[in-house]
Structure 1
Amino acid sequence: MTAAEDALGSFAEALVREVDEARDDPSNPLPSSEGVFTRLVLEQLEEAGHLEGAFDLHQEGRVGRSTFRISGYAMDEEAGSLTLFATHYMGTLPPARVPLSELTRTAERAVTYVTACLGGLADRIEPSNTEASDLARRVAELGQRMDRLRVVVLTDGIASSLLPAEMDAGERRVELDLYDLVRLHRVLGEGQTRADIDVDLVALGGTRIPCLPVAAGAGQYEAFLATFPGEVLSRIYDRYGTRLLELNVRAFLGLSGRKSVNAELRRTLVEQPTMFLAFNNGIVATADEVRLERDGGATFLVGLRGLQVVNGGQTTASLHRARRKDGVSLTDVEVPVKIIKVTAGDLEEMVASISRAANRQNAVQQADFSANDPFHREVETLANNTWLESGRGRWFYERARGSYLAAEQKAAFRAGEQRAFREQTPKSRRLGKLDLARYLAAWDGFPWRVAFGGQKNFQAYMQRRKDAMAPPPDATWFRRLIALAILYRTTERIVRSLKFPAYGANIVAYLIAALGERTGGRIDFDLVWRQQRLSPQMEALITAWAPEIDKALRASVGARNPTEWFKKEECWSGLRTNLPLLVDPLPPELVGSVETTTRASEGPGALGAADYDRIEECMRVPAAEWVATAEAGQRKGVLHYKLAGICMTLAGYAAGGWARRPSVKQAKHGLEALAKVKDAGLVAGE
Structure 2
Amino acid sequence: MASIEEFHEDFLQSILSDAESRALLKAQSFFEIVCEDLVSVGDLTNNYSPAEYIKKGIEAYGYDYDDERKILTILNHQFFQDNIIQTLTKGQIETKFNRLKTFYKKSTEGLYKEMEETSEAYSMAYNIYKYVEKKQLHKVRFMVLTDGKATRNLMELPSETDKDIQFEFRVVDIEYLHNIYQSESKAAVSDIEVNLPCLKINDENNSYQSYLTVINGDLLVSIYEDHGQKLFEQNVRTFLQFKGNVNKGLKNTIEYKPEMFFAYNNGITATAESVEVGSDGHLKKIKNFQIVNGGQTTSAIYAARMTSNLDVSQVAVQMKLSVVKKTENQDDFISKVAEYANTQNKINNSDFFSNSPFHKDMKDYSNRIYAPAIGGSQKRTHWFYERVRGEYLNSQAYLKPAEKGRFINENPKQQVVDKTLLSKTEVMWRRRPDIVSKGAQESFKKFADEITETLEKDNLAITETYFKDAICRVILFRAVEKIISAAPWYDGGFRAQTVAYTVSYLSALTLESGLHLNFDLIWETQEIPQSLIEMLKLISEQVYQKITRPAAGYANITQWTKNSMCWTSVQEIDLDFPDLDPRLFIDRAEKNYQIKESKGIKVVDKGIDAQVFVLKVTYEDWNKLYDYYRNYKGIKNLSSMQLGVLEKMASGKIDLPSEKQSKILYQVYSSAKSEGVNVN
Q: Give the TM interval when normalised to the shorter protein.
A: 0.7 to 0.9
Structure 2 counterpart of 1:312, from 294, 314, 337: 294
**Which residue of 2 is the match for residue 170 of structure 1?**
162
Shift of 1:89: 2.2
**Which residue of 2 is the match for residue 460 of structure 1?**
446
1:504-537 Cα offsets, whole Å, 9 max, x none, are: 1111111111111121173112222222111111
2:559 is aligned with 1:568: no
Task: Find the aligned partners of 1:266 and 1:492 in 2 and give their Cα distance.
Answer: 47
Task: Find the aligned partners of 1:11 and 1:404 in 2 and give their Cα distance.
Answer: 11
Change (3 A) 1:504 1:589: farther
TM-score relative to the length of structure 1? 0.75
Shift of 1:331: 4.2
How many residue pairs match? The answer is 576
1:91-110 Cα offsets, whole Å, 9 max, x none, are: 33321333456435533432
Mapping of 1:563-602 within 5 angstroms? 563-576=558-571, 578-588=572-582, 590-595=584-589, 598-599=592-593
**Deviation larger for 426-435 or 77-86:** 77-86
Task: Find the aligned partners of 2:486 and 2:418 in 1 and give their Cα distance.
Answer: 24
SS of aligned partner of 2:548: helix
Task: Find the aligned partners of 1:114 and 1:581 in 2 and give their Cα distance.
Answer: 43
Unaligned runs of 5+ in 2: 374-378, 597-680
Shift of 1:584: 4.0
Contact 1:249 1:369 in 2 (8 A): yes
2:121 is aligned with 1:138: no
Change (3 A) 1:564 1:365: closer
Mapping of 1:507-518 within 5 angstroms? 507-518=498-509
Aligned residue identity for 1:83:
T
Task: Find the aligned partners of 1:140 and 1:286 in 2 and give their Cα distance.
Answer: 40
Structure 2 counterpart of 1:531, from 521, 525, 549: 525
**Which residue of 2 is the match for residue 233 of structure 1?**
220
Aligned residue identity for 1:303:
K
Change (3 A) 1:384 1:263: farther
Structure 2 counterpart of 1:430, from 416, 432, 443: 416
Structure 1 counterpart of 2:273, from 288, 296, 308: 288
**Which residue of 1 is the match for residue 6 of structure 2?**
10
Structure 2 counterpart of 1:490, from 473, 479, 482: 479
Contact 1:284 1:339 in 2 (8 A): yes
Contact 1:190 1:402 in 2 (8 A): no
Task: Find the aligned partners of 2:448 and 2:308 in 1 and give their Cα distance.
Answer: 28
Aligned-residue sequence identity (percent) comes to 25
Shift of 1:539: 0.6
Task: Find the aligned partners of 2:590 and 2:225 in 1 and give their Cα distance.
Answer: 43
Q: CA RMSD in A?
A: 3.4
Change (3 A) 1:337 1:380: same
Task: Find the aligned partners of 1:437 and 1:258 in 2 and give their Cα distance.
Answer: 29
Task: Find the aligned partners of 1:28 and 1:367 in 2 and give their Cα distance.
Answer: 34
2:364 is aligned with 1:381: yes
Change (3 A) 1:215 1:397: closer
Task: Find the aligned partners of 2:345 and 2:136 in 1 and give their Cα distance.
Answer: 38
**Deviation larger for 591-600 or 559-568:** 591-600
SS of aligned partner of 2:152: coil
1:45-65 Cα offsets, whole Å, 9 max, x none, are: 445565333333332335xxx
**Which residue of 1 is the match for residue 71 of structure 2?**
81
Contact 1:44 1:188 in 2 (8 A): no
**Which residue of 2 is the match for residue 448 of structure 1?**
434
Task: Find the aligned partners of 1:313 and 1:589 in 2 and give their Cα distance.
Answer: 52
SS of aligned partner of 2:517: coil
SS of aligned partner of 2:270: strand
Change (3 A) 1:600 1:263: farther
Structure 2 counterpart of 1:223, from 201, 205, 210: 210
Change (3 A) 1:45 1:601: closer
1:576-624 Cα offsets, whole Å, 9 max, x none, are: 2x1232424224454432458845699xxxxxxxxxxxxxxxxxxxxxx
Task: Find the aligned partners of 1:257 and 1:198 in 2 and give their Cα distance.
Answer: 29
Shift of 1:280: 0.7
1:441-475 Cα offsets, whole Å, 9 max, x none, are: 11112111111111122123212333453534111
Unaligned runs of 5+ in 1: 202-207, 603-686
Task: Find the aligned partners of 1:181 and 1:302 in 2 and give their Cα distance.
Answer: 30
Structure 1 counterpart of 2:264, from 272, 279, 282: 279
Change (3 A) 1:166 1:328: farther
1:341-395 Cα offsets, whole Å, 9 max, x none, are: 2346943444344345424998779997686433223222221122223481121
Contact 2:81 2:147 in 1 (8 A): yes
Task: Find the aligned partners of 1:228 and 1:597 in 2 and give their Cα distance.
Answer: 58
**Deviation larger for 318-327 or 528-537:** 318-327
Task: Find the aligned partners of 1:365 and 1:75 in 2 and give their Cα distance.
Answer: 27
Task: Find the aligned partners of 2:15 and 2:347 in 1 and give their Cα distance.
Answer: 42
Task: Find the aligned partners of 2:20 and 2:591 in 1 and give their Cα distance.
Answer: 39
**Which residue of 2 is the match for residue 37 of structure 1?**
30
TM-score relative to the length of structure 2? 0.76
**Which residue of 1 is the match for residue 175 of structure 2?**
182
Shift of 1:79: 6.0
Task: Find the aligned partners of 1:237 and 1:589 in 2 and give their Cα distance.
Answer: 56
**Deviation larger for 147-156 or 95-104:** 95-104
1:379-438 Cα offsets, whole Å, 9 max, x none, are: 222211222234811211110110112224444x223x3333233222221111111111
Shift of 1:182: 1.4
Change (3 A) 1:344 1:146: closer
2:468 is aligned with 1:479: yes
Contact 1:213 1:224 in 2 (8 A): yes
2:147 is aligned with 1:149: no
Aligned residue identity for 1:393:
T
Aligned residue identity for 2:499:
V
Change (3 A) 1:229 1:74: same
Contact 2:185 2:331 in 1 (8 A): no
Change (3 A) 1:121 1:488: same
Shift of 1:285: 0.8
**Which residue of 1 is the match for residue 652 of structure 2?**
none
SS of aligned partner of 2:214: strand
**Which residue of 2 is the match for residue 338 of structure 1?**
320
**Which residue of 2 is the match for residue 505 of structure 1?**
496
Shift of 1:476: 1.4
**Deviation larger for 91-100 or 136-145:** 91-100
Shift of 1:301: 3.4
Contact 1:189 1:406 in 2 (8 A): no
Task: Find the aligned partners of 1:35 and 1:357 in 2 and give their Cα distance.
Answer: 43
